Amino acid sequence: MKDSNFLKENNARFMWHPMTSPQDSKDNPPKIITGSSGVRITDIDGHSVVDAVGGLWNVNLGYSCQPVKDAITAQLETLPYYSTFRGASNDAAIELSYELGQFFAPDGLSRAFFTSGGSDSVETALRLARQFHKLRGEAGRVKFLSLKKGYHGTHIGGASVNGNANFRTAYEPLLPGCYHIPAPYTYRNLFNETDPERLAQLCAAALEDEIAFQGANTIAAMIMEPILGAGGVIPPHKSFAPMVREICDRHGILLITDEVITAYGRTGAWSGARLWGIQPDMMCTAKAITNGFFPFGAVMLGEKMVAAFEDNPSAKIGHGYTYSGHPVGAAAALACLEEMQRLNVVENAAVRGTQLFEGCLALKERYDVIGDVRGGHGLMTAIELVGDRATKAPIDAVSAGKVQEVAYQSGAMVRVSGANLILSPPLVLTEEDATTILSALDAGLAAL
């Protein structure tokens, strides 16, 4: 490995970073992370902080999860790779498919299609949704519905159902036939409705209206996050998801839950669908499935999908990835499933999530720059910063960046997304770790 001077000199010179501009990376050199332990990361200068981002929502078990590392090492010694395309499989993928079927049985999901990550999982679900309707003789069902503010990855299909212009405009025209309905975002919504339950009803009515306008027989699926993550941690009222499920059932529309973030315990339940008491037709998962230690994902499939594909001998799936069912990823996922359940991380996510959420609410009482605090469902919390509480004018990017930088120097890596400070730490966070995050946020906010 090159020395620190070399790394600093070449930081952002030859690598383009996701979700920013090359110029911004040069003007504001990224933190060079060189080490990690537990829930902490260490940069090239030896500065250690609590990782309140959890890698990128995915390091649920922390960085020192030895069982997962051991599983990866053992698999590399026996079978480091083989394809799962027609005619071949591997032992780890077979075992994982069985274990995932058991794990997601309460969600009504029993089959797995393996991918390389979250964007792949979304793309897979959209493709299979269209094929499902063709197999059933409804080839005209090709459109997709989703929520504004929702995030569904970066592939052409995922970008098309994304509800944020930041991930769309530069790449348009995108996939035709994708339409968006208002999100149940209590702090900002076109209805000026502050009651979460009433807002959920209005958004559900907007869904009904869009279906009527488009024609139900033209719509393949509705895709949504149970709690909107990258859009700013926007949890709906508990009535919203069941209403969406009922509307989709009534109109013959598949429901896809994008749980790349929310599956495997993040919400304080093992899945976002389970949190709201619904069963989707497909569920997109990735991220925590391997704790971030290996690129891997899985689309879980319900009984409608099983019947349409398995009862039709001509239902060939003309889709897949070189690394679908990668044996090393499957081994890592098996170890993660076992360790997540052994540690019962959902319980800790609920307790520590409440601590962080209540701590952020307390910060809101002290700092007028905080317009809204959202969370209360596991370790998913966002602070929305404003320049003026009365008008809800978003804070400028420089000020948001200052909060982030001072918080980092004070002991915690937090994520800035627009005007939002997003907290998604590992699910093995301790009370002391959560206190450190809150103290660092306090310092960052005080700096304004």
106-161 per-position pLDDT tens digit = 999 999 999 999 999 999 999 999 999 999 999 999 999 999 999 999 999 999 99
**Could you tell me if 378 and 57 are in contact, meaning their C-beta atoms sit under 8 angstroms apart?**
no
Instruction: Assess whether pLDDT exceeds 90 at residue 421.
Output: yes
pLDDT for residue 419: 95
**Could you tell me if 330 and 296 are in contact, meaning their C-beta atoms sit under 8 angstroms apart?**
yes
d(CA 420, CA 357): 14
pLDDT for residue 379: 98
Higher pLDDT, 1 or 14: 14
Q: Which residue has the tokens 């009534």?
A: 250
91, amino acid identity? D
Instruction: Assess whether pLDDT exceeds 90 at residue 1.
Output: no
Specify the pairing of strand 412-413 against strand 48-51.
Answer: parallel
pLDDT for residue 348: 98
3-state DSSP assignment of residue 448: coil
Q: What is the mean pLDDT of residues 176-185?
A: 98
* Strands annotated E in 90-176: 109-115, 143-147
- Average pLDDT value for the chain: 97
3-state DSSP assignment of residue 133: helix
* Strands annotated E in 314-438: 370-374, 381-388, 393-394, 412-413, 415-417, 420-423
d(CA 152, CA 259): 10
pLDDT for residue 78: 98
d(CA 243, CA 222): 12
434, amino acid identity? A
pLDDT tens sequence across 23-34: 999 999 999 999
pLDDT for residue 211: 98
39: confidence class by pLDDT, cuts 50, 70, 90 = very high
Instruction: Assess whether pLDDT exceeds 80 at residue 315.
Output: yes
261: confidence class by pLDDT, cuts 50, 70, 90 = very high
pLDDT for residue 45: 97
**58-72 CB burial, b ≥16 within 10 A, e <16:** bbbbbbebebbeebb
Q: What is the mean pLDDT of residues 193-200?
A: 98
Instruction: Assess whether pLDDT exceeds 90 at residue 2.
Output: no
Its pTM stands at 0.97
445: confidence class by pLDDT, cuts 50, 70, 90 = very high
Element (H, E) at 283: strand 282-285
Q: What is the mean pLDDT of residues 379-384?
A: 98
Instruction: Assess whether pLDDT exceeds 80 at residue 6.
Output: yes
Instruction: Assess whether pLDDT exceeds 80 at residue 208.
Output: yes
pLDDT tens sequence across 214-225: 999 999 999 999
349-353-354-356 Cα dihedral, nearest 10 degrees? 150
Q: What is the mean pLDDT of residues 297-325?
A: 96
> Residue 381 contacts by C-beta under 8 Å, 6 or more apart in sequence?
233, 353, 356, 357, 360, 373, 374, 375, 422, 423, 424
Nearest to 329 by CA among 290, 286, 384: 290
Instruction: Assess whether pLDDT exceeds 80 at residue 302.
Output: yes
